[in-house]
Amino acid sequence: MSDRAWPDNPPCPPSSVAVCMTNCPTLIVTVGLPARGKTYISKKLTRYLNWIGVPTREFNVGQYRRECVKIYKSFEFFRPDNEEGLEIRRQCASAALNDVRQYLAEGGGQVAVFDATNTTRERRETIIEFAEQNGLKVFFVESVCEDPDVIQENIVQVKLGSPDYTNCNTEEAVEDFMKRIKCYENSYQTLDEVLDRELSYIKIMDVGQRYLVNRVLDHIQSRIVYYLMNIHITPRSIYLCRHGESELNVKGRIGGDSGLTARGKEFAKKLAHFIRAQGISRLKVWTSQMKRTIQTAEALSVPYEQWKVLNEIDAGVCEEMMYEEIQDHYPLEFALRDQDKYRYRYPKGESYEDLVQRLEPVIMELERQENVLVICHQAVMRCLLAYFLDKTAEELPYLKCPLHTVLKLTPVAYGCKVESIGLNVDAVNTHREKPEVRTTTR
C-alpha cells in the first residue's frame, strides 16, 4: 500500500492498518491435543485480525473431515492404526491447505489460520514446506494444558454440541472424546526449545499462565502474540450502552458535547437500578470524556474511568448539524458517506475505520478485564459490537444501537451471547438506515 505515489490531490483514505503489517502473507498453524482451545483461539484471533483490518480466514480441518466423512461413528476413526482414517485425514489437511493457498494468493487474504492438531513434527514439516513453496511466513500457536477441569469444561462447552455428537448422550460423548484424545497422545511431539529453535511460535501453557515465545519475525506476529497474551477464558459479561438521551439528540443534531435531557437522566437512574439488580462482582465502569456519558455514569454512584478514545466519532465540519443541514450544505459529502459509510471520513473529522484504530486499545483492555460496563456513543458502540459479534466493515456502520438499551455480551462456546435489555425510558431514534439511492446526483 505504501508503493503508490500520491499526486497533488488529497490522498485517498488508507486502510486502518497504518503500518505495513507484513510483506508476505502469514500462515498461523495451531498445535495441540484435542480440547486444548485451538479452535477457540483460531476463531478469536481471526475475528480480532479482521476487525483491525487484516483480512484473515480460518481453515478448520475437522470441518473438512466432517464434509468428507458424512457420519461420525466413533473415536476409532482417529486410531493411529486406522489406515483408512489416516488417509482421509491426510487428504482433508491437503484440501484445507489448498484452500489456504487459494485464499492467500488470489482471495486477497493476508493471514490464514490453519486449525488442526498438527501434533507431529512430520506434519508440521509438511506445512513448513508448503509455506516455503508458496512464499508464506509461518507462525505456530501451540496450546498445552494438562488440567483435567479445564479439559472437561472445554468438552462440555464445545464438544457436546458438535455435529459429531448430535446423536449421543452426554456420558457417551465425553467417554468417546476422551478416547479420541488418547489416540493423539502417543504420537504428540510438542514444540521443543531445542529441536524447534528456528521456528517462530508461541507456546501457551495452562490457559495463559505461562507463555514461551520464540523468534517473532515481524509486526503482525508481535501483535498476535500481544493479543494472545491478553485473552482469557474466565467467565464474565461485558455491558455496552450509550449515554442517556442528550439535548442534541432530541434536536436531531449529530456530535457535539451536550448534557442529558430529563429522559436521559431517567435512563441513568434506571441504569443504576439495573446494575445493582444484576449483582455483578467487581464491575468496572468506563465512559468517554464527553459530558453525556460522564453524567450517565455519575448516576451510578460507583467509581468510573474516563477514556478519551471512547469519545464519539468526530464529524468534523458536520459537527452539531442535522442531517437536513448536511444535505443542504454538503450534499456531495452526504452521498459519498452513504456510498461507503465505513471508510468515509468527514472533512476535518474521522471515519469508522479511524474509530476502529483508536478503539483497539479499548478492545485489548476489555479482553484483559472481567466484568465491564462501557457507557459510550452510537458509532463507538457499533465498532465495539462489531468486534464481539464478528460483523463486517459493511455491516458495522448500520448496527442498531438504540438509546436507553443495554447490550449484555457473554462469551459462550466460540462466540458471544447477546441479551438486549431496554430500560423502558423513551428516547428519540438516532438510527439512520442506508438509503436506497446513494448517487451524488440524488
State the virtual CA torsion across 361, 363, 364, 367 in degrees, nearest 10. 160
Binding of residue 216 to a second copy (CB under 8 A):
yes
To the nearest whole angstrom, how small is the minimum distance from the Cβ of residue 49 to a second copy?
16
Site for a second copy in 301-320 (CB under 8 A): 308-309, 319
Active site residue 87: no
Quick one: cell of 259? 448534557
Binding of residue 42 to a second copy (CB under 8 A):
no
**Parallel, antiparallel, or unpaired: how do β-strands 137-144 and 201-205 relate?**
parallel
The answer to whether residues 118 and 31 touch, using CB atoms and an 8 Å cutoff, is yes
Residue 429: CB atoms within 10 Å: 9
Q: Which of 282, 244, 279, 238 is nearest to 260 (CA)?
A: 244
Quick one: cell of 56? 484473515
Rounded CA separation 290/385 (Å): 20
Identify which of residues 7 and 171 has a Cβ nearer to a second copy in the complex.
Answer: 7
Binding of residue 357 to a second copy (CB under 8 A):
yes
Binding of residue 253 to a second copy (CB under 8 A):
no
DSSP code string of 176-238: HHHHHHHHHHTT-----TTTTTTS-EEEEETTTTEEEEE---SHHHHHHHHHHTT-------E
The residue within the footprint of a second copy, chosen from 144, 183, 225, 363 (CB under 8 A), is: 225
To the nearest whole angstrom, how small is the minimum distance from the Cβ of residue 437 to a second copy?
31
Rounded CA separation 138/31 (Å): 12
Binding of residue 11 to a second copy (CB under 8 A):
yes
Q: Which stretch binds a second copy (CB under 8 A): 75-83, 160-168, 353-361, 410-418?
A: 353-361
CA angle (160 as vertex; 69, 82 as ends), nearest 5: 35
Identify which of residues 155 and 363 has a Cβ nearer to a second copy in the complex.
Answer: 363
The residue within the footprint of a second copy, chosen from 67, 172, 193, 426 (CB under 8 A), is: 193
Binding of residue 226 to a second copy (CB under 8 A):
yes
Longest pairwise C-alpha distance within the chain = 74
Amino acid of residue 153? E
**Parallel, antiparallel, or unpaired: how do β-strands 415-422 and 26-31 relate?**
unpaired
The residue within the footprint of a second copy, chosen from 219, 273, 400, 442 (CB under 8 A), is: 219
Identify which of residues 18 and 413 has a Cβ nearer to a second copy in the complex.
Answer: 18
Binding of residue 8 to a second copy (CB under 8 A):
yes
Does 27 appear as a known binding residue? no
Return the sign of the alpha-carbon dihedral for residues 197, 200, 203, 209: positive
The residue within the footprint of a second copy, chosen from 87, 166, 215, 400 (CB under 8 A), is: 215
Binding of residue 194 to a second copy (CB under 8 A):
no
Does 74 appear as a known binding residue? no
Active site residue 312: yes
Q: Which stretch binds a second copy (CB under 8 A): 7-15, 102-110, 159-167, 269-277?
A: 7-15
Identify which of residues 19 and 71 has a Cβ nearer to a second copy in the complex.
Answer: 19
The residue within the footprint of a second copy, chosen from 160, 168, 178, 213 (CB under 8 A), is: 213
**Size of the residue set binding a second copy (CB under 8 A):** 37
How far from the centroid of its chain's Cα atoms is residue 439's Cα? 32
Rounded CA separation 358/310 (Å): 8
Identify which of residues 8 and 433 has a Cβ nearer to a second copy in the complex.
Answer: 8
Does 53 appear as a known binding residue? no
Binding of residue 27 to a second copy (CB under 8 A):
no
Q: Which stretch binds a second copy (CB under 8 A): 108-116, 157-165, 221-229, 402-410?
A: 221-229
Q: Which residue is it, cell 460483523?
A: 391
To the nearest whole angstrom, how small is the minimum distance from the Cβ of residue 114 to a second copy?
23
Rounded CA separation 19/353 (Å): 14
Does 246 appear as a known binding residue? yes
Does 281 appear as a known binding residue? no
**Residue in 58, 142, 243, 404 annotated catalytic:** 243
Angle between helices 352-368 and 378-389 (to 10 degrees): 60
The answer to whether residues 244 and 296 touch, using CB atoms and an 8 Å cutoff, is yes
Q: Which stretch binds a second copy (CB under 8 A): 28-36, 119-127, 175-183, 218-226?
A: 218-226
Amino acid of residue 203? K
Identify which of residues 37 and 256 has a Cβ nearer to a second copy in the complex.
Answer: 256
**Parallel, antiparallel, or unpaired: how do β-strands 284-287 and 305-306 relate?**
parallel
Catalytic residues: 243, 312
Binding site listing for substrate: 242-249, 292
Mark the binding-site residues, compressed into ranges. Answer: 242-249, 292
Q: Which residues bind a second copy (CB under 8 A)?
A: 1-3, 5-6, 8, 10-11, 14, 18-20, 193, 197, 209-216, 219, 222, 225-226, 229-230, 308-309, 319, 348, 354, 357-358, 365, 368
